[in-house]
Structure 1
Amino acid sequence: MPVEGRIEALHIAMIGHGPIASYVVRQLADRPDVTVAWVVCRAGREDAAKTAFGPKVHPVVRVDDIGEAVDLAIDCAGHDGLRSHGAAFLRRGVDLITVSNGALADAELAEILEASAFAGGAQLELLSGAVGAIDALAAAKIGGLARVSYVARKPPAGWKGTPAELLLDLGRLTKPGCHFEGSAREAALRYPKNANVAATIALAGTGLDETQVRLIADPAIDANCHEIEAEGAFGKFSFKIEGNPLPDNPKSSALTAMSVVRSVLNRLEPVIP
């Protein structure tokens, strides 16, 4: 018997159809209480979206082209996808979960998204993605944080197509090379496809301008390594995680895709651990 106030099923729209989004759709495919019905994509990419998700998912280029009710929107498209379509979902009253947390380093976009969420009575959820300990960090913020730092180590291939190529010879590295040191805001703006974790940690803790970040290419590792250190009224902690990338994209963490699936399932479960 349905319980009043509980969500019994979800009608979902995706933003993006890349490796993370495809993983999410595959994981949810066998759930009778979840329907991924729509995908918002770039004009001219409709056929690619159908290939990625199958014929049951309808591609559109604008949120306004979705004629049916949507319970939840999921952004896996990166900063441009959130910037282009996030506010439209929120104004429509649709909750939105995103892994493009680094996009909020753009103060103007952050204000637009917040205002849109208020206007639509919706909520934007920033997922923890590739890193853990975010719940502890956010709780520690309540009592006051004195210092938060973050170090990201990835194999050289994980930094290809980024400003790291201008500073390091990624194909010939024989030892770790630091190619960025500065604030989380600067890291997120300069490395939009690689530094979402930096923004996630900063937004949960001391803020984008106060959180110190180092980005390192390390030829001795084959996993993406994330290290957080924090001190405050709660005490102090250090956290390290070594995450495998998605097979289809060395820049994307498998745990990021898994965190999206978990967030969706949390909306359906009566007990959330």
Structure 2
Amino acid sequence: MSARRVVLIGYGAIAGDIAEALRVAREPGYALAVLLRPGSSSAGRVPKDMPILDGSDAVAAFAPDLVIEAAGHGAVRESVPACLALGLPVLISSIGALHDDALYADLVAAARRGGGRLLLASGALGGLDYVRAVCHAKQLELRYESRKPPAAWAAELRALGHDPAALAVPVTLFSGTAREAAARYPQNLNVAAALALAGPGFEATGVDVVCDPAASGNTHVVRASSEFGTMSLEIANQPSPTNPKSSWIVAQALLAAVDQHFCPVVMM
């Protein structure tokens, strides 16, 4: 069996972790390439033996079995549509970009035209299988709380007049819908968008964003209630060593999704 061919969009911390794991994977292994904008500052971090692609024509020539987006909302807008139009499956981590209904519709249309598939990673969150199961419940109430330490919200706290180093009590930065949260915090609230897409939608999913000096990690709390029952889920993830706004587990969740994509047995 030949190596599985994968293109990474972007080469930041998450993409680097993914590449490191896939490069040492057992047979059949992976052949990797990276899609970057011309002149990207990330080019210097890409291993010398990994081709750097500069557009959709180069992606088509590489003929990947899977494309993985790990570069932010802008990459979803700029690079993902062309990959879907090529008939490729694209696994995206920046799910928050899909709060834009027009972009989401364009991506779905591109996938239908070209035969591609838009694959959404669970990222730092769990429990999406349960939420999908109850998403059509008549009495569904769904709320998500993000609770992170001040290091994750330093700029936002300063903008509100707080000293991140001296914060003594929790501060609620936001309370509203998943659509508003994803738009306001594109680097932080991809999990809220994932929950909304798995569940009743962006307007019907409530979100609270709390900065808590007592938080030891990035904590995610999901509460769901419907005629089918209730769920209360709490996950405490360690922040990424290179980006406290993101959870360290995100790259592992994407790797698990890659494994499921190629595996003959799929857990739904």
Residue 168 of structure 1 and its aligned partner are, at CA, apart by 5.1
- Structure 2 counterpart of 1:38, which letter? A
Residue 183 of structure 1 and its aligned partner are, at CA, apart by 0.5
- Cα distance in 1, alignment partners of residues 11 and 107 from structure 2: 22
- Cα distance in 2, alignment partners of residues 177 and 11 from structure 1: 45
Give yes or no for the alignment of 1:22 onto 2:19: no
Taking a change above 3 Å as real, the CA distance of residues 119 and 168 of structure 1, as seen in their structure-2 partners, is farther
Residue 108 of structure 1 and its aligned partner are, at CA, apart by 1.2
- SS of 2:173 mapped into structure 1: strand
- Structure 2 counterpart of 1:53, which letter? V
Query: In the alignment, is the contact (CA less than 8 A) between 2:178 and 2:196 conserved in 1?
Result: yes
- SS of 1:17 mapped into structure 2: coil
Aligned to 2:40: 45
Taking a change above 3 Å as real, the CA distance of residues 148 and 168 of structure 1, as seen in their structure-2 partners, is farther
- Cα distance in 2, alignment partners of residues 165 and 264 from structure 1: 39
- SS of 1:83 mapped into structure 2: helix
Give yes or no for the alignment of 1:219 onto 2:213: yes
Give yes or no for the alignment of 1:267 onto 2:267: no
- Structure 1 counterpart of 2:130, which letter? A
State which of 57, 71, 75 in structure 1 corresponds to 2:69. Answer: 75
State which of 167, 177, 180 in structure 1 corresponds to 2:174. Answer: 180
Taking a change above 3 Å as real, the CA distance of residues 168 and 127 of structure 1, as seen in their structure-2 partners, is farther
Query: In the alignment, is the contact (CA less than 8 A) between 1:128 and 1:134 conserved in 2?
Result: yes
Aligned to 1:128: 122
- Cα distance in 1, alignment partners of residues 188 and 116 from structure 2: 28
Give yes or no for the alignment of 1:167 onto 2:167: no
State which of 43, 48, 53 in structure 2 corresponds to 1:55. Answer: 48
Query: In the alignment, is the contact (CA less than 8 A) between 1:228 and 1:240 conserved in 2?
Result: yes
Residue 61 of structure 1 and its aligned partner are, at CA, apart by 2.9
What is the percentage of aligned positions where both structures have the same residue?
A: 36
CA RMSD of aligned residues (A): 1.7
Aligned to 1:91: 85
- In the alignment, structure 2 segments of 5+ residues that lack a partner are none
Q: Structure 1 stretch 144-153 or stretch 12-21: which is displaced more?
A: 144-153
Deviation by residue 1:114-144 (Cα, 9 ceiling, x = unmatched):
1011111111011110010011111111444
Give the TM-score normalised by the residue count of structure 2: 0.93
Query: In the alignment, is the contact (CA less than 8 A) between 1:188 and 1:199 conserved in 2?
Result: yes
Taking a change above 3 Å as real, the CA distance of residues 142 and 9 of structure 1, as seen in their structure-2 partners, is farther
Query: In the alignment, is the contact (CA less than 8 A) between 2:3 and 2:31 conserved in 1?
Result: no
**Moved >3 Å (runs of 4+):** 142-145
Give the TM-score normalised by the residue count of structure 1: 0.91
Residue 145 of structure 1 and its aligned partner are, at CA, apart by 5.0
- In the alignment, structure 1 segments of 5+ residues that lack a partner are 3-7
- Structure 1 counterpart of 2:171, which letter? G
State which of 30, 36, 43 in structure 2 corresponds to 1:35. Answer: 30
Aligned to 1:65: 58
Query: In the alignment, is the contact (CA less than 8 A) between 2:134 and 2:140 conserved in 1?
Result: no
Deviation by residue 1:87-121 (Cα, 9 ceiling, x = unmatched):
01000001000111100011111111110111111
- SS of 1:114 mapped into structure 2: helix
